[in-house]
Amino acid sequence: MRRKIIAYACALSGLLAAGVASAAPGVEYDPLTHQPLIQRPGALGAGGRPLATAIPRETVYFNGKYAPGTIVISTAERRLYFVLPGGQAIKYGVGVGRPGFEWSGVKTVAMKKEWPDWTPPAQMLRRRPDLPRHMKGGIENPLGARAMYLGGTLYRIHGSNEPETIGQAVSSGCIRMTNDDVVDLYNRVSVGTKVVVMR
């Protein structure tokens, strides 16, 4: 079952969220939509199992040639850096493309969406014909709470309801964050933001 879930690639559905979708201890809610964001330590999921906790975001020293406001993603490190003034950056844990789906390059954020709908691309449907053709935005949507679309690609920086996949290489090339972290990044980023992806 675990392998089947992981195989959802770029967009894994929030199956674990089914056990915590109602108001429950340990769950933080989006102030606009009242949808659950991230399971806090001590929260329980389906079957009463403890939920995985996310890699904490932190402000770190950052030696780089990138201007403040740039997103720098190290797929080898499985971390995303949002560059701040003064030689610092906010570091987030991310999930990245699995073997065969790695990529690098310089892109820009072309579009932003809150609780986005998901339409799997044709390439993904050929690999996984069992996937839905379209899914409305919401807590069970595999794109999570927010998505930032990278221009000229099928890739997104998006949320996920499966924090245990953060720090792993399991997607079809999208950059995955916890819902809590993707909301934080989304609020800092504007359309046109430069995104540097390094392997």
Active site residues: 158, 174
List, in sequence order, every beta strand (DSSP E) within the chain.
27-29, 36-39, 58-61, 71-74, 79-84, 88-93, 96-97, 105-114, 146-150, 156-158, 169-171, 175-176, 194-198
CB atoms within 10 A of CB 41: 10
Plot region of 186 (φ>0 → left; ψ -120 to 50 → alpha; else → beta): alpha
CB atoms within 10 A of CB 93: 21
Q: For residues 57 and 45, is the Cβ–Cβ distance under 8 A?
A: no
Token match 């850096």: residue? Answer: 81
